[in-house]
């Protein structure tokens, strides 16, 4: 069996003005550009390929790699970047023909500068090359905004079930198994989907607590145990994308039973709709969170999650509201990951380790994440920036936010501020440890992350507090100026009515 594989994975926050370029894909630790054998070498990592390559090996399937590009979530992808990656994948597929199947690795919420549905475009291009008979199966992120084109063009789509996404390898393996069974003629996929008039904040999709989305996902897991159900997926969607088809959707793939697929997709959608009011998130005022953390018992660790400025949701990553409040409160033993500010990094590097500097940091990218804040501190560390992720999500992958400075504000036990050249999402303890900060020994950890931090930090946290600061991954969806999103949609239009099927 010969399965050709490649893909493009990016999550687009359309409220981010800065486009995502090919250079971004190619920046190690910020993006991933893997070609040929480099794709197969991802076996065993905490990625989709980590599981899919291992599964192919186990089954003795010949996996023919083309090209794979992934990058930190951000603004719309430049058309030139998409075209270049797409053409490389298509050239690889043409060279591999004839093939038995296509394993296409997608995120599901990628938009281009001039097109809302990048996955639909890529699937159409691949379908044109391989023709109507060759099965195409794609694993998807839980935050997929599902378009009709994706459903029409793919034979089977399978989403992650965990947020934080600790099940990327399992989903990759599952999708590959489904593709292999189709190729062998053991399964004839019948796929159905339901798209709800419902958009929900990312923070309400978390599966480390019984979020409303998890209730539906638990049912999807049960459905997958039933004979004839190949995959059952609940997509939370990505709400920070102003595209017509953003929001929640469900997909069920059965073996040759379209009616059963339709029923099951509607059942999962019904569970989400029933609980639509529960997707509301009410973050804590920043000052209250800091006060609670500072009053905590000796040895406690409070995670203050800056959920509205999450690099993993494509925000600026330079929000200053929490840092300003820490300084006003005279907080001690606080470590901040991180504020993106290349100019501040350059100034600290020029000053050198041990120097005292006075800088205006953050708040420069788009004016949507709080104004710049003046700080005086000592440059404790200058780091080239790269390190390996060790925890449950993305294990073994490289992370980098570019050159990274640790600035000590208020003395030895004050505020340790990481200044970075690029935004990032601190979802692993090594976002501190790599820079000489032991997170289990700090009273306050400020994380610019909507939810992925939970995989590594919930186990060490006395308490996680989602704080109310501004940004373009805010759970307050009514603060966004949607123009392309379909209407009516809940909760923007509270009286929206709907019933599954």
Q: Give residues in contact with Zn ion (CB under 5 A).
A: 141, 143
Place of tokens 């404790």: 380
Coil, helix or strand for 390?
coil
> How many H helices and E strands in the chain?
14, 20
Cis status, amide bond into 273, omega within 30 of 0: no
CB of 165 to Zn ion, least distance (A): 6
> Which phi-psi region, left, alpha or beta, contains residue 117 (left: φ > 0; alpha: ψ -120 to 50)?
beta
CB of 310 to Zn ion, least distance (A): 11
Q: Name which of 25 and 435 has its Cβ closer to Zn ion.
A: 25
Q: Name which of 369 and 425 has its Cβ closer to Zn ion.
A: 425
Look up residue 495 and give its two tokens.
């009286």
Query: E strands, 217-354, where?
Result: 229-235, 249-255, 284-285, 302-305, 334-340
Look up residue 94 and give its two tokens.
């043409």
Contact 500/266 with Cβ under 8 angstroms?
yes
CB of 496 to Zn ion, least distance (A): 25
Helical H runs in 280-341?
A: 286-294, 321-329
CB of 152 to Zn ion, least distance (A): 23
Cα–Cα distance measured from residue 320 to residue 323, given in angstroms and rounded to the nearest whole number: 5
CB of 311 to Zn ion, least distance (A): 12
CB of 184 to Zn ion, least distance (A): 31
Q: Name which of 92 and 236 has its Cβ closer to Zn ion.
A: 236
369-399 b/e with 16+ CB inside 10 Å = b? Answer: bbebbebebbbbbbbebbbebbbbbbbebeb
Which of 184, 160, 182 minimizes the C-alpha distance to 172?
160
Q: Name which of 213 and 359 has its Cβ closer to Zn ion.
A: 213
289: phi then psi, degrees, rounded to nearest 5 = -65, -45
Q: Name which of 140 and 348 has its Cβ closer to Zn ion.
A: 140
Look up residue 325 and give its two tokens.
């409040």
Query: E strands, 90-160, where?
Result: 101-106, 136-140, 156-159
Cα–Cα distance measured from residue 364 to residue 319, given in angstroms and rounded to the nearest whole number: 9
CB of 330 to Zn ion, least distance (A): 37
Q: Name which of 348 and 451 has its Cβ closer to Zn ion.
A: 451
CB of 317 to Zn ion, least distance (A): 17
> Which phi-psi region, left, alpha or beta, contains residue 31 (left: φ > 0; alpha: ψ -120 to 50)?
beta
CB of 391 to Zn ion, least distance (A): 16
CB atoms < 10 A from the CB of 163, how many? 27
Q: Name which of 251 and 379 has its Cβ closer to Zn ion.
A: 251
Q: Name which of 143 and 448 has its Cβ closer to Zn ion.
A: 143
Q: Name which of 116 and 141 has its Cβ closer to Zn ion.
A: 141
109: phi then psi, degrees, rounded to nearest 5 = -130, 45
CB of 141 to Zn ion, least distance (A): 4
Which of 145, 106, 120, 123 minimizes the C-alpha distance to 13?
145
What are 74's strand-pairing partners?
A: 12
Q: Name which of 254 and 473 has its Cβ closer to Zn ion.
A: 473
Q: Name which of 141 and 416 has its Cβ closer to Zn ion.
A: 141
Strand arrangement of the beta sheet that strand 189-195 belongs to = 189-195, 249-255, 229-235
CB of 106 to Zn ion, least distance (A): 12
Residue nearest to Zn ion (CB): 143
CB of 242 to Zn ion, least distance (A): 18
Cα–Cα distance measured from residue 487 to residue 468, given in angstroms and rounded to the nearest whole number: 27
Q: Name which of 237 and 372 has its Cβ closer to Zn ion.
A: 237
């Amino acid at each position: 069996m010969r399965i050709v594989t490649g893909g493009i994975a990016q999550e687009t926050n359309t409220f981010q003005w800065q486009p995502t370029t090919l250079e971004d894909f190619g920046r190690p630790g910020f993006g991933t550009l893997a070609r040929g054998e480099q794709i197969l070498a991802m076996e065993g990592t905490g990625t989709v390929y980590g599981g899919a390559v291992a599964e192919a090996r186990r089954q003795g399937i010949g996996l023919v790699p083309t090209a794979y590009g992934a990058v930190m979530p951000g603004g719309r992808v430049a058309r030139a970047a998409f075209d270049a990656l797409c053409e490389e994948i298509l050239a690889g597929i043409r060279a591999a023909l004839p093939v038995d199947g296509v394993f296409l690795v997608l995120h599901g919420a990628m938009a281009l500068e001039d097109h809302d549905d990048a996955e639909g475009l890529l699937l159409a291009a691949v379908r044109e090359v391989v023709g109507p008979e060759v099965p195409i199966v794609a694993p998807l992120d839980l935050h997929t905004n599902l378009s009709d084109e994706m459903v029409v063009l793919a034979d089977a789509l399978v989403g992650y079930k965990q947020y934080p996404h600790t099940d990327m390898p399992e989903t990759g393996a599952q999708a590959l198994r489904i593709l292999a069974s189709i190729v062998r003629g053991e399964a004839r996929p019948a796929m159905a989907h339901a798209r709800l008039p419902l958009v929900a904040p990312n923070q309400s999709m978390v599966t480390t607590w019984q979020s409303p989305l998890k209730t539906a996902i638990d049912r999807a897991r049960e459905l997958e145990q039933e004979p004839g159900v190949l995959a059952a997926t609940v997509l939370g969607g990505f709400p920070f994308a102003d595209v017509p088809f953003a929001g929640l959707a469900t997909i069920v793939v059965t073996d040759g039973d379209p009616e059963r697929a339709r029923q099951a997709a509607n059942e999962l959608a019904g569970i989400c709709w029933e609980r639509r009011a529960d997707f509301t998130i009410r973050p804590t005022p920043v000052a209250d969170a800091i006060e609670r953390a500072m009053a905590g018992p000796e040895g406690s660790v409070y995670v203050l999650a800056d959920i509205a400025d999450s690099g993993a949701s494509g925000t600026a990553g330079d929000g200053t509201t929490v840092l300003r409040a820490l300084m006003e409160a005279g907080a001690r033993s606080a470590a901040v990951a991180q504020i993106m500010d290349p100019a501040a990094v350059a100034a600290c590097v020029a000053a050198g380790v041990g120097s005292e500097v006075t800088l205006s940091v953050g708040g420069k990218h788009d004016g949507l994440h709080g104004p710049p804040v003046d700080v005086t501190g000592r440059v404790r560390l200058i780091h080239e920036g790269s390190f390996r992720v060790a925890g449950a999500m993305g294990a073994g992958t490289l992370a980098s936010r570019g050159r990274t400075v640790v600035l000590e504000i208020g003395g030895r036990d004050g505020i340790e501020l990481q200044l970075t050249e690029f935004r990032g999402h601190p979802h692993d303890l090594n976002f501190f440890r790599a820079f000489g900060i032991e997170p289990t020994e700090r009273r306050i950890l400020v994380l610019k992350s909507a939810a992925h931090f939970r995989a590594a930090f919930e186990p060490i946290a006395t308490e996680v507090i989602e704080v109310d600061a501004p940004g373009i991954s805010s759970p307050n969806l009514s603060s966004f100026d949607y123009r392309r999103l379909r209407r009516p949609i809940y909760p923007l239009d509270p009286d929206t009515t709907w019933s599954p099927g």
